[in-house]
Amino acid sequence: MNTPATSGSFRPDIEGLRALAVSGVIAFHFGMTSLPGGFVGVDIFFVISGFLITRHLQQEISKSGTVDLWRFYARRARRLLPASLFVILTTLLVGYFILAPSEQQFYSKGSLFASAYMINLWLIRWTVDYFASDASNNPFIHFWSLSVEEQFYLVWPALLLLLARLRPGKGGLFILLSMVAAISFALCWRMTAVSQPWAFYFSPLRAWEFACGGLASMVLPQRWARRFRFSPALGWLGLLLIATAYLTVTEGIPFPGSIALVPVLGTVLVLLSGAHEGSAGPKSVLALRPLQEIGKLSYSLYLWHWPVIVYAGIVQPELSLVDRLLCLAVTLLLSLFSYHFIENPIRHNAWLAAKTARSLGLAALLTGAGTTVAYGSAALAGYSFDGKQRLIQQSAERKSAAREFDSACVLEREAVRPKACAFGAAKPKKTIVLLGDSHADHWSTPLKKIAERNGWRLVTYLKSSCPAADVPTWNGVLMRNYDECDAWKRLAFGEIAALKPDMVILSQYSSNYVRNDINSISSHQMDVRDWAKGIERSVETLERAGSDVVLLRDVPVHKSYLDKCVARALWQQKSPSVCDTPRREAVEETIPAAERKIASQTHASYVDVVDLFCNRTTCPAVIDGKLTFRDRHHIATPYAESLAPSLERAIFGDRR
C-alpha cells in the first residue's frame, strides 16, 4: 500500500497495480455494488509490499551481507508517518463538529491506536466485524491494514537477516519462506472458520500474503519468469483473477480464508509477468498515464477516502450518486494536497535523510504527538457531556433485566448448553418462559416486572443471534452455518418440556433471518415460507408439552443507530425528531403475515407490538422523553421497562 520501489528499479506495472488496488477499495467503500469484492484491493497491496520490501532487503544483503535495520525503519518513518498523522489530526478535528461526545471519546481511542499502528489489535479486542453496518461510523477503521503492514515491516527484515546468516542458499531460503507462508495461510484458513476477526486483523495470520509477494521477488522465480515464454499470458491470467475477485467475492463469503488466494495469486502472476523481457503482457496497460497518476497517489487516496465517506454519510445519510462523486473529488483534492505538501517534502528531505537518528527522532515525535492529541481529544469529549448526553448514553448502555442478573443469561455464539435464568416468585402462581435471541432478551425487562407484580415466575432461555424458530441459520460473525444454535435449541426445547410452563413467549429478530424489503442484510437470509415452517415446528413442539404459546411480532428496524443519531442531533442543537424513521421504512409486513397465519392454524396467540413504537406514519426515536432503541432495533432498557403495563395487557389480557 505504501512501499515505494527502490531507486533505479521502478516498475510502472507495479504503480498500475497500486492504482487497481486503491480503486477497488474506494469503489467498495463508496458503495459501487458492481464491484462487491473491491475490498480485496487491500490484499493486492499486501502482496506488492511483500514483493518490494523483500526485493530491496535481498539486494542490500547481497551487497553488504547485512541489513541496516535502523536505516530501514527511518525510511519507513519518513514515508508513512507524516501523512498518516495529518489525516488522523484532521479527522479528529472535523469529528468534533460532527460526532457526539460519546463517539468522539470512543473514536479518539481508536485514533490513539492508529497513531501507534496497533489499531488492528484494538479492533480484535472489540471483535469488530469489518463488514458490520456499525463499522461504517468508525473513521479510523481503515488504519487496520496500515497497522498490519507496519507490523510486517517490523518483523520481516529481521527474519530475512536471520535466515541469511544461516546461509541456506537461494533454494533453501525460498523453501524456508515458503514454509512461513504455508503455516500462516493454514492458520488463517482455520481461524476464518473459528474466529473471523482474528483471521482478518491479526498480522501473523495475514503474513502469508506478504510472504507470497516476497517469494515472487526472489531470484529463482524471477529468473524463471524472465525466460518463460508464456509469462505475458500469466500476467493476463493474473489480471483476470483480480477482476474475478472484484466481481464475485462478497461480504457474505468467509474472508480471508481460502478465497483470498484468488487476488493474491492474481497479483503474484502479474508481478512475475512484469519480470519478462519485452513489452508483452499487461505491462503496457498498467503503465498508462492515468493508472500511473492514481498509483502515485495511492497511499494518500487510501488515507483520505474513508474519513471523507464516513463523515459524508453521517451528515447526509442517503448519499446520491452526485454526493458520492463529490466525495471522490474531495478525496482527490485532499490527497493531492497531502502528497505534494506533506508526504513528498518530508520523505525526500535531505536533512532528515542525512542521519538515521533524525528520521527516527521524527518518528518518535510524530507518534508521541498523535497519541497525545488522541488522549487529549478523548478527555475533551468527556468534558462535553451534559445531562441530555449522559441520559442518552446511560439509556443505551443500561443492560436488560436478564443481562443485569447474569451476562451469561444470553449465551454467546459458541455456547451450546442452555442457561435458564429465573425471576419472580419462588412458589409462583404461574410460570412463563421467554425463548429466543437478543430480541427476546430486550423483553426480559418488562416481563420481569410483570412477573414480580403478579407473583409469577419468569424463566428465560436466550442465545445471541439464535431464533426460536426451528430453522437452520447462518452466523455472520462466525461466517458459517450456526450449528451451535441448532444444538442449543434442541436442548432448550427439552428443558422447557420438562419444566411444563404455563406459557412460552417466542420473540426473535425475524427480519435478520428472512429476506425482506426493510432489512436486507445478507444473501443468507431465507425464504419466508421456510421461516413459517420453522415457526410452526417450534409452536407444535412447545404445545405438545402442554404450554400456551405466544408469538411476539418483531419490533421496527430504524435506518440509523438511534443512540448515536440522537446524541449527534443534541450536540448539533437539532431536534431528536431528525432521527425518526417513517413507519413504511421501519415496519416489515410480509413476515408478520406468515407468522399470523401459523398462529391461526395452531393454538398460538399472535401479539402485535409495533404500535408501542410507532404512530400511523412515524416510528419516533424518542417517546415521552425516552430513547426508544439503543441501536437500530434493540429496545433501550428504560423504554422497555416503561412498556410493562401495555405489554401485560397485550399478552395476558384476561388470562391473569
Cell of 195: 474466529
The residue ranges of every structural domain in the chain are: 12-385, 399-556+587-608+639-653
Burial of 167 from C-beta contacts in 10 A (0-12 / 13-18 / 19+): exposed
Cell of 630: 439503543
- Whole-number pLDDT of residue 279: 66
Residue with cell 508513512: 80
- Whole-number pLDDT of residue 6: 42
| CATH class belonging to 399-556+587-608+639-653 | alpha beta
Are 400 and 424 in contact by the 8 Å Cβ rule? The answer is no
Enumerate residues 6+ apart whose C-beta is below 8 A from 329: none
Give, rounded to a whole angstrom, the gap between the first and last alpha carbons of the chain.
66
Are 246 and 24 in contact by the 8 Å Cβ rule? The answer is yes
Closest CA to 272 of 319, 303, 230: 230
- Whole-number pLDDT of residue 68: 86
* DSSP H or E segment with residue 435: strand 431-436
> For the segment 585-644, what is each residue's pLDDT rounded down to a tens digit?
999 999 999 999 999 999 899 999 999 999 999 999 999 999 999 999 999 999 999 999
> How distant, in Å, are the alpha carbons of 82, 89, 354, 371 from that of 376?
19, 12, 34, 9
3-class SS of residue 424: strand
3-class SS of residue 459: strand
- Whole-number pLDDT of residue 521: 81
- Whole-number pLDDT of residue 643: 97
Enumerate residues 6+ apart whose C-beta is below 8 A from 597: 532
* DSSP H or E segment with residue 461: strand 457-463
DSSP 8-state secondary structure symbol assigned to residue 514: B
- Whole-number pLDDT of residue 8: 46
- Whole-number pLDDT of residue 195: 83
Instruction: Report the relative pairing of strands 431-436 and 503-507 from DSSP bridges.
Output: parallel
pLDDT along the chain (656 residues), means of 10: 54 95 96 88 97 91 84 90 95 94 91 92 73 68 95 91 80 89 96 88 96 92 85 93 95 89 97 81 91 96 97 90 95 97 92 90 92 92 88 93 95 93 92 97 97 96 96 85 95 96 96 92 90 96 92 96 94 94 95 95 94 97 96 96 96 73
Are 234 and 273 in contact by the 8 Å Cβ rule? The answer is yes
